[in-house]
Amino acid sequence: MTELLEVKNLSVSFETDQGEVQAVRDVSFTLRPGETLAIVGESGCGKSALCKSIMKLLPASARIKSGSICVNGVEISGYREREMQKLRGKLFSMVLQDPLTALNPTMSVGAQIAEAVRVHQPKISREAMHDRVLELMRLVEIDRAQELMNLYPYSFSGGMRQRCVLAIALAGSPAILFADEPTTALDVTIQAQILKLLRDIQQELGMASVLVTHDLGVAAQAAERFGEVIINDISAGELDPAMPATAARLGVPYIIMHMKGDPQTMQTLTDYRSDIVTEVCGYFGRRVAELTAAGIRRGNIVLDPGFGFAKTLEQNYELLAGLHKLCALGFPVLAGMSRKSMIYRALDASPADALAGTVALGWEALRQGATVLRVHDVREAADTVRLFGLYEQNRKQA
């Protein structure tokens, strides 16, 4: 089957007062006609930026650094704004994350839907426009459409506002619908209704859709395929108890468990026999037991000591001292590295001292058995390797 949308090695960055921030790094995926693809990840990981970069809806401070975006085999990553305007609405459209801010509070919902229709059909008559607005409102299951079309957004509930935003997105009969967290802030019942509505509309119109969410349960209900998922910071107390089984069913490649730079947590883990995972006490132990019982291999559960969270230099070295014991448990252990590391922020160290300390800790972590090195980009990886080489050379000379 021909790929409707193909994204290859897409990287997007933002220029800020603090320097360049990479929001999307080397992302690739494909989407076929009529298919639903879920992009799943934690808040702030770049899911929305990925979708907006495809539609060229990013602010002026953002730029696509590399990669390609092909629609029906046509490369569009180099398209200018005038060319993109011809694609938006007809080829792809987007349901934004917060319907209350997406809607104009000074216009009735009917007028806003009509405005979207006129963009794509500038010569439409007033009568046909009225009929099309009612058709779209009924398509998204807004009852009493004739009566409600004259009301303003504040008159609607969250679920009803989401339906209005969906009607606007469907005004141009798009081939691809990007749904950015369409169930955020909705209760469970309304959430299920919106997901069912999206499925029904997709089947009726033959659309493909990209569902952006941080909720694995929502993704499991709605999508046929999933982008690569990394569940980060599963130590959060409000974590859904069903997550381990859901993660295993979705084929989550890695789960990162954070220790937040707490040496006592490290000691709690390393005090237990390496061959009895279920006896690792405390919250981490319960989560590990649940994950392994759900079918996630121990080798896919990455333990992060959290050097960056330690409040003092001494705490970092306490973490380092217990790291080889942690590795003996059989889990991959992560050593985070960054040229902009915050490890030494509590020490008011100079940038040079902070970098030197970061390199020393990262290098020693790898020497103690850490198996995963996290860096932010290719340049940073190259810098890290170079710095490690210099550090080891200095150690030998000393």
257 residue type, one letter:
M
User: How far lies 105's CA from each of 100, 112, 168, in Å?
Assistant: 8, 10, 15
Categorise residue 371: left if φ over 0, alpha if ψ from -120 to 50, beta otherwise: alpha
Catalytic residue among 90, 118, 199, 374: 374
Report the C-alpha gap between 374 and 263 in whole angstroms.
20
Two tokens at 224? Answer: 């046929």
Taking residue 202's Cβ as centre, other Cβ atoms within 10 Å add up to 18
CA separation for the pair 216, 245 (Å, rounded): 10
Whether 374 sits among the annotated catalytic residues: the reply is yes
Angstrom distance (rounded) from CA 371 to CA 388: 15
The residue from 196, 260, 340, 379 that is catalytic is 340
Please give the Cα distance from 308 to 261 (Å, whole number): 7
Phi, psi at 122, each rounded to 5°:
-65, -20
CB 253 within 8 A of CB 229: yes
Continuous segment of H or E residues that includes residue 16: strand 5-16
CB atoms within 10 A of CB 18: 7
Q: How far apart are CA 112 and CA 397, in angstroms?
A: 71
Active site residue 52: no
Task: Give φ, ψ of 263 to 5 degrees.
Answer: -60, -30
Contact 145, 130 (CB under 8 A): no
DSSP 376: S
Hey, CA dihedral for 292, 296, 298, 303, is it positive or negative?
negative
Within a 10 A sphere around the Cβ of 394, how many other Cβ atoms? 11
In SS3 terms, 281-321 reads as CHHHHHHHHHHHHCCCCHHHEEEECCHHHCCCHHHHHHHHH
Place of tokens 């309304």: 190
Catalytically annotated residues: 340, 374
